[in-house]
Amino acid sequence: PADFVAHAHALAPRRCLQHLCLAEVQPDRRRLPPLALDAATGAPVWHVNVRTEHGILPEAKQWGLSCSPLVAGNALILDLGKVLVLDKRTGKLAVALGGDAPAFSSSVMFALGERRYVTSLNATGLVVYDLLAKQEVGRHPWEAKWAAAAVTPIVAGNRIFVSAGYGKGCALFQL
């Protein structure tokens, strides 16, 4: 969901969710914003450049942005350091949480009691946000070499397991 740096493909479909596909297009090595395409027809539905429109910080090593979109109802959640909650039908921003530099992980949504939370494993560490209150409720430093925390956290009850390569290891946090 930002500029796409193609190493092998000119058209790279990324994720299909229900009746919508997210794709990043880079004909002739030009960087273009990602598109949401109608899965049946391939027609553009919306596009957004998260860097310019939502202030996503630069990623380490200029490797590009990467995460797996999380769909919850009509929400499309992207962990790009700053967690963006977009309306999947329009691409419009519903909520922006945090403002850390991105790593390469993906958000996980979970519930504790009546509250719904979402994780962000970004360049500086693990952050947990309360979706209803729209605020940070927990943070722990977890810096991987080259800001390459690319593994999606695993949530089990009130515990969150994270890991990273390049000699960092793993940890289990309790909320």
41-52: per-residue pLDDT in tens? 777 888 888 888
pLDDT at 101: 85
Token pair of 164 as six digits:
């990273």
Partnered with residue 171 across adjacent β-strands are 162
| DSSP, res 51 | H
Mean pLDDT of the region 136-158: 85
User: Would you list the DSSP string of 129-174?
Assistant: EETTTTEEEEEEE-PPGGG---SPPEEETTEEEEEETTTTEEEEEE
Task: Give the rounded distance of the alpha carbon of 143 from its chain centre.
Answer: 17
List the structure tokens of 147.
Answer: 């800001």
| Phi, psi (rounded to 5 degrees) for 145 | -55, 135
Tell me how far apart the alpha carbons of residues 50 and 2 are, in angstroms, rounded to a whole number.
Answer: 5
- Give the integer Cα–Cα distance in Å for 136 and 21: 30
Q: pTM above the 0.85 mark? A: no
Q: What is the mean pLDDT of the chain?
A: 79
Is 18 strand, coil or helix? Answer: coil
pLDDT per position as a tens digit, 75-110: 989 998 899 999 988 999 999 999 998 887 889 999
Contact 100, 83 (CB under 8 A): no
From the list 4, 12, 25, 131, the residue with the least C-alpha distance to 70 is 131
Q: Hunting for tokens 């027609």 — which residue is that?
A: 43
Q: Which two tokens stand for residue 109?
A: 């949504």
Most confident of the ranges 7-11, 99-103, 147-151: 99-103
